[in-house]
Amino acid sequence: MNNQNTSFFGRIDWITISLWFALCIIGWFNIHAAVFNPDSPGLFNLETNYGKQSIYIFTALIIGFCILIIDQRFFISATPVIYAIVILLLIAVLIVGRNVGGNQAWIPLGSFRLQPSEFGKLATCLLLAVYLNTQSNKTPNITTLLIGCSIVLFPVFLVMLQPDTGSALAFFSLIFVFYREGYVSTKFMVLGGLAIVLFVFALLVPNEWILIGIIAIISAIALYVNRQKRKHIINICLLFLASMVYVLCVDFAYENILQSHQRNRIDIILGKMDDPRGQGYNLNQSKIAIGSGQLLGKGYLQGTQTKYNFVPEQSTDFIFCTIGEEWGFVGSVTLIGIYLFLLLRIIHIAERQRTTFARVYAYGVASILFFHFFINIGMTIGIVPVIGIPLPFISYGGSSLWSFTILLFLLLKFDSARKGLSTS
């Protein structure tokens, strides 16, 4: 009996669990600071967001423990069912969901609101891992890539119908999974990076034909340098044509597909628009709050920007503002350090897996968490457009906390099984 207990507790990655718990507690205290009410000061007042968050954390702890004691084969065999249930929920939210802030993304369940898109990332990571595991003995091919992409894009399509652009974009971070497994080449990733740079320039240059002219000049120089190499000449010509079409498509999509508030957010980030009292209000107040914290912060519950509600959604999407104002640069860097340590830990766990399934799933977890971490903090400091996604384990909300917790604890379960742990 002793040996079995030692085996169980010894094979769980307690470092990762400690990081998870630390982030949950940091989030709880900062939600308390973000919506602090002197008339209801207790951390466990269930009429407040921080009181409800304490319940969500406690429940998440129970969920995590249950995952660790259930046989990992159950989760693997149940993956198609989990994916199907989540797809049905994503369809159901379009019919019976509650519209909040222009997004019909929540299903009301009494006083609780379930957000299926958060669990969609979990289900997608699981099914993608199961599918790529079945293809692990085959050479990476385009058919496998297309089927894998379909697994990812189906929930993306449903989430976009809500429309919840932020949650939909998170699924695209799974490109790193395909890259790690050899389905996407380094050349493709480089071209993807160049596409992002070209996208920014396409929006900054006032006329798309000016940018196309610049690309043509660069292409002409490249052609002259490689004039003796026929293969390079063909590639340069194809790249020029693709770039020209891409720039025109960016301009068309920007003007005809993006909604006005989305265009305004991009314009504010790129410095093309200054609207501190309108579309740029959230970002402007966010920068003021974070900057006012200076080196060591104003102290717990002492943030004036926080206390007087200058920053909207400060307990959810803009929770990092509270950390920046009350804990300063030191506190912000500490939080970022914890996140980086967690991400590196997950990658370390991924690389020590013995099965393709566990490795793919681990990289899926790392990709989703990194995207949320980078975008959420990036939008509060003005390096990416404002999109509504939570900061993992920190932002207020049961759906996000539970989905991220399940995502992480399933990884820990699969990792413990790697060492021969059996809980059946």
What is the tens place of the pLDDT at every residue in 372-411?
A: 999 999 988 888 887 878 999 999 988 899 999 999 999 9
The whole-angstrom separation of Cα 60 and Cα 408 is 11
Shared-domain flag, residues 159 and 217: no
Report the DSSP beta bridge partners of residue 108.
Answer: 113
Q: How many domains does the chain have?
A: 2
Contacts of 283 (CB under 8 A, 6+ apart): 268, 269, 379, 380, 382, 386
The residue segments making up the domain with residue 253 are: 185-257
What is the tens place of the pLDDT at every residue in 180-194?
A: 998 888 888 888 888
Shared-domain flag, residues 212 and 109: no
Cis peptide before 163 (omega within 30 of 0): yes
Average pLDDT of the chain? 85
Shared-domain flag, residues 204 and 101: no
Shared-domain flag, residues 301 and 330: yes
Instruction: Give the pTM.
Output: 0.87
Shared-domain flag, residues 170 and 280: yes
> Are the beta carbons of 346 and 364 closer than 8 angstroms?
no
Assess whether pLDDT exceeds 80 at residue 79.
Answer: yes
Query: CA 380, 116, 97, 319: dihedral to nearest 10 degrees?
Result: -20
Query: CA 91, 93, 95, 98: dihedral to nearest 10 degrees?
Result: -170
Domain boundary among 257, 273, 305: 257
Shared-domain flag, residues 107 and 173: yes
H-helix segments, 161-316 = 165-171, 175-180, 186-204, 208-225, 230-256, 260-269, 281-292, 304-307
Instruction: Answer whether residue 424 is part of any domain.
Output: no
What is the tens place of the pLDDT at every residue in 303-357?
A: 887 776 777 778 888 899 999 999 999 999 999 999 999 999 999 999 999 899 9
Assess whether pLDDT exceeds 60 at residue 4.
Answer: no
Domain boundary among 209, 224, 257: 257
Shared-domain flag, residues 298 and 156: yes
What is the tens place of the pLDDT at every residue in 43-69?
A: 777 778 888 999 999 999 999 999 999
**What is the dihedral sign for C-alpha 159, 163, 167, 172?**
positive
> Are the beta carbons of 401 and 57 closer than 8 angstroms?
yes
Shared-domain flag, residues 158 and 175: yes
Residues making up the chain, counted from first to last:
424
The whole-angstrom separation of Cα 341 and Cα 362 is 15
> Are the beta carbons of 298 and 304 closer than 8 angstroms?
yes
